[in-house]
Amino acid sequence: MAVTFRRQLQEMLVESFEVSPRTEAVMGAAGKLVCSYPGPAIAVPNNVFNDSVFRAELANFLSMMDKDVLAASTTHKAGSEVVEERDTAHPRYITELLTGILRGVGCPAEIKRINKRIGDDVVWNDSRLPWRRSSLWLVIRVTVQVTLDRNSLGQSVYKAFMLFFMNDLARQARLRNMPNDVLQWTSAKLSRRLMKLSVEAPEWLSEDVSRTCTEIGSLLNERWEQVQAEEATSPPWNPSALDFSADTQLTLLSSSGYISNALQAHYLVSPHDQFEPNSHLRPTLDAFLSVDRTFFQRTYNESPYMTLYDLE
């Protein structure tokens, strides 16, 4: 859950939204989830929010909700019922609870919301908790986009800002010699964002992004040429450094069962089918011109297509 506070002239807007959707919703979606941000919004008068006791209790509530283990659904494992901790907490435990508390001192606010297509994933395999996409990154993007949208700057400004921000991250990744895969997908994502913005992107930003992608491409090419150069040279031949005794002792740990089965295996030889070709000698021109009037009918019955072909 994320909570944002926006101070207005007469009131404080307290907006909250769920950062990680429920696992059931993510796994059940055919594509990306379409979510509306933010969620419920409560307008708290400034004279109430400026009260030090109120702010202390609100901060204490948020800190405790971040640490407390909330009631979660249960599942059956190894014949016993255990708490299902791989899913996110239900919105009623934090979002709806906080909204209900703030309704006592404020009132619902009419705000402008945005829609985002969320490509979340729930990846789990022999681990304690599943892998989910970064929730902090989503909070940052939603907060920035909502702020820019309410200041009448529009979605294009948000996308241009994200392109500028990611371009700076890509430049830092190149200077810090990040791995090849990180540099490759960073450059690909920058190129895709720039292509989607097209003419809406400022000229200076387009040139800066193109320069960054070119520098990353040059660095990757240099690394690939270095790998090719290292692989092209043969290893040095130094017979005196060889250890024949150690190199000829093979340890096949945990392979005794496989070797025993392989030595004791009895293979059944499948019987060979007798091949009897169903073909006939192709007639010659003299056979077709013979006085035997039944010849054509007999050959036609045996192989009609080939007989007509030979006749033509």
| Same domain assignment for residues 175 and 132 | no
Task: Give the per-residue pLDDT at 95.
Answer: 82
97 pLDDT band, cuts 50/70/90, is confident
| Nearest Cα residue to 63 out of 6, 138, 137, 3 | 3
| Same domain assignment for residues 164 and 178 | yes
Alpha helices in 176-289 (DSSP H): 180-197, 203-232, 244-247, 256-263, 285-288
Q: Which two tokens stand for residue 241?
A: 């450094």
Sign of CA dihedral 7, 8, 10, 12: negative
Q: Which residue has the tokens 């193109």?
A: 210
Task: Give the per-residue pLDDT at 119.
Answer: 79
What would the mean pLDDT of 76-90 be, rounded to a whole number? 64
- For the cut 60, the answer to whether the pLDDT of residue 71 exceeds it is no
Task: Give the per-residue pLDDT at 236.
Answer: 81
CA distance 180 to 173: 10
Task: Give the per-residue pLDDT at 294.
Answer: 78
| Same domain assignment for residues 94 and 106 | yes
According to DSSP, the β-strands at 80-83 and 33-37 are unpaired
| Position 137 in a domain | yes
What would the mean pLDDT of 146-161 be, rounded to a whole number? 84
| Same domain assignment for residues 148 and 158 | no
* Domain, as residue range, for 305: 281-312
Task: Give the per-residue pLDDT at 292.
Answer: 74
pTM for this one? 0.61
Q: Which residue has the tokens 């000698």?
A: 281
| Same domain assignment for residues 4 and 140 | yes
| Position 275 in a domain | no
According to DSSP, the β-strands at 41-45 and 33-37 are unpaired
Q: Give the residue from 152, 178, 201 where a domain finishes.
A: 152
| Position 246 in a domain | no
